[in-house]
A and B are shown apart, each in its own frame.
Chain A
Amino acid sequence: MPKEIISIKNLNVSYLLGNNKIKALDNINFRLFENEILGIIGESGSGKTTLARYLLGTLDTAGSEILIEEYLLNNKRIDLFPTKINELRGSFISMIMQNPVSSLNLTMKIHNQFRLVLKDVLNIKQKELQDNLIEVVIKEVSLDNHKDILNKYPLELSDGMNQRINVALSLISNPRVLVMDEPTASIDKENKIRILKVVDKIVHKKNISVVFITHDILLAKKICNRILIMKDNKIVDEICKVNESLSSEYTKLLYKSSLLEVKKNGDAVFSQKIIELNMISKNFGDNLVVGDFNMYVKTGETVGLVGESGVGKTTICKMIMGIYKPSSGVIKTREKLKIEMVFQNANLSLNHNQKIFKILNEENYINNKNEFSREFISSFFVDFNLPIDILDKYITELSDGQKQIISIIRSLLSSPDVIILDEPTSSLDTITQNKILELLLKIKLKYNLTYILISHDDRVIQYMCNRYIEI
């Protein structure tokens, strides 16, 4: 029987908003054993992050009501957690956040960030000793030429590197438990694999237990020993191995949604080229972003653009849209071709201070035309199963999926021929992702659209695209 490291009995957390109580965690019971990776899976808003923050004792006690029967950390009872857990935080339990850059101090060189931890948590002040410890831990997370990296600032490194530095930062104090809150969500595929390898390595080598929070069931399946499924702030299922014969309905749904079935729609023949890019290059100052790029798009097809972050996918699309002008090369488009773009992050692409009806009508305001009638807009809402009363709400009142749908509807309203989709689903959880991808295919047929799809997710590319271009 493995040793128990964390045990939580009957945890209830509600956030207090004015006079309202909003339930964030409902009767949570779980145990974490030594040397295991425990996955916690759920859609966004299911309470994963609240649980992680409770474990670390960083929940805002003034703004929330916490009821718990028992919280054992390494068989020590923790009562009023903000006071007692302070001593354990860092040295016993440590956390890695979702956004690698914002969890580092941007104004400090990397080695200084390590020194700060060593000085404050471990009370080691000799410089040579610090250097040795840093070197060891940097090697552990497989960062080569560490001398270079240590002398840089976080913004000079890639997201993946920053995340590995975060892992190293929490490892340097030798914690027994590592809580990782979606550590790979904002990172491209190759770096993701590297980080997962690092996690796997440290668990076995350094005898650490990991609580791995994610919304990606396939990822969890790969690396976790045990998985808890959360829905509506409750733990609904606990499984040891993900396979087809799963116990709960919701788990089945989650698993199914992660495996998009690739539909082969035959080898459809597309004839007419509508967009052609010829030896396009673009540089910002001395920085060459896109070099000699060729591409064509034919009517009715879906073309994927694949590549790691930072290779210039979005720049190419912005050149097609006409936001940037290419430094050299020609972009040919068919005459009177209407191109629309759906941006990556719906939170940034829709104005928070305007009602949705006005957002959808923006193009008319620009061109001094009459507003679209509510009936006209609602005919699109039917396609997406959205209630029509959303029109009088603000963007902040919607869920992430709904926001992205609004952004898609906005591009549909002007009856375009081509829609450029810039990672339309990357910030969503798998179930919502699938819904949106299905809807996109449906409306493609209905309105005779052509898509250019940017993504770093193979699953999405294979599901959606007729062909793809790797950059």
Chain B
Amino acid sequence: MKINFLKKIFIFTAALILLLVLFLCFYPVKYYDIISNPNLSPSIKYIFGTDYLGRDLFIRTCYAVLNTLFVACFSVFCSLFIGVVYGTYAGYKGGRFEKKMVMFLNILESIPSFLLIILFLVLLNNFFTEKGNILGVLMAVIAVSWIYMSRIIINETKKIMNSDYINYAVIKNASFWHILKFHLLPNLKSIIIITIIQKIPQIIFIESFLSFVGIGIQPPFPSLGKMVSDGLKFFRIYPHELFVPVISIILIVFLFNIVGEIIIKNTKEYA
């Protein structure tokens, strides 16, 4: 029953995102289309009004939300993949090998993460200029967030590796692949879900911040952070241009936190 509940949440979220994508695909106006006068206030025709170039703010917000979600989800899953592989292998090997791998993590972690991200973005900016540097942002975020994931996974793996059922598998000459599939992943399941849920809102913030500063997703591609920084310029005259993206960020993070809380509550019960 609890698993069904998780499935329902998942399906609901997925359906919502799919609807949004479909809507944007078939809606004639795109995020770069200048459709009317600039800086219009919200009205029935343009529910969020228009921005300083005369583009529909509602459409831009939708695209921006999708971009943000894409960056957050994709980078969480990628960094989780790297983290799980790195962490379980280090925890499985143990001993000196694990110490070296943890040392490597420590070195990476000693560099401030924003510095690392900015460094990456500056490096990658030249390669991924098309699609508004989304790929660059993705890679920079992944490069930073996998460290945290693998640290958690290493600790959990070490705990599991102490159990006698691992001893039993070792007696039977089990391969790393078998131990990973049969013992580690099922036992890591709940901690993985919890990490995903905690990490997504964080990455949404990081992405918005990067775009706000101007090194994230590049225009004309819409992003919430960039929209905030644009809105800030005309804040006194056209406050809606600031409020729309800010409220969207708050709503997304809030939603993810709530969904996360529900999921964590349910996973803990059957774990």
Contact = CB atoms under 8 A, between A and B. Distances in A.
Contact of B168 (A349, A352, A354): A349
B178 A366 contact: yes
Interface in A300-341: 318, 321-323, 341
A354 B182 contact: yes
Given A353-B186, A365-B178, A348 B164 contact: yes
A15 to B, nearest CB: 15
Given A365-B178, A366-B173, A366-B178, A349 B189 contact: no
Contact of A350 (B165, B170, B173): B165
A350 B183 CA distance: 10
A309 B170 CA distance: 24
B171 A351 contact: no
Interface in B156-186: 163-165, 167-175, 178, 182-183, 186
B218 interface: no
Interface of A: 318, 321-323, 341, 343-345, 348-354, 358-359, 362-363, 365-367, 410
Contacts of B178: 365-366
Contacts of A350: 165
A352 B183 CA distance: 9
Given A351-B183, A353-B189, A363 B165 contact: no
17 contacts: A323-B170, A348-B164, A349-B164, A351-B163, A351-B165, A351-B182, A352-B187, A353-B186, A353-B189, A354-B183, A358-B182, A362-B169, A365-B178, A366-B169, A366-B172, A366-B174, A366-B178
A367 to B, nearest CB: 8
A365 B182 contact: yes
A348 B165 contact: yes
A341 B182 contact: no
Contacts of A322: 171
Nearest to A410: B168
Nearest to B178: A366
Given A318-B167, A351-B183, A353-B187, 9 more contacts: A321-B171, A350-B165, A351-B165, A351-B187, A353-B186, A358-B182, A363-B172, A366-B173, A366-B175
A362 B182 CA distance: 8
Contacts of A343: 164, 167-168
Nearest to B190: A353
B168 A341 contact: yes
A408 to B, nearest CB: 13
Contact of A351 (B170, B173, B175, B186): B186
Nearest to B163: A348
A9 B223 CA distance: 69
A49 to B, nearest CB: 22
Nearest to B189: A353
Contact of B171 (A323, A348, A352, A354): A323
Pick the most buried of B172, B173, B183: most chain A CB atoms within 10 A of its CB.
B172
Contacts of B183: 351, 354
Contacts of A321: 171
Contacts of A410: 168
A365 B165 CA distance: 14
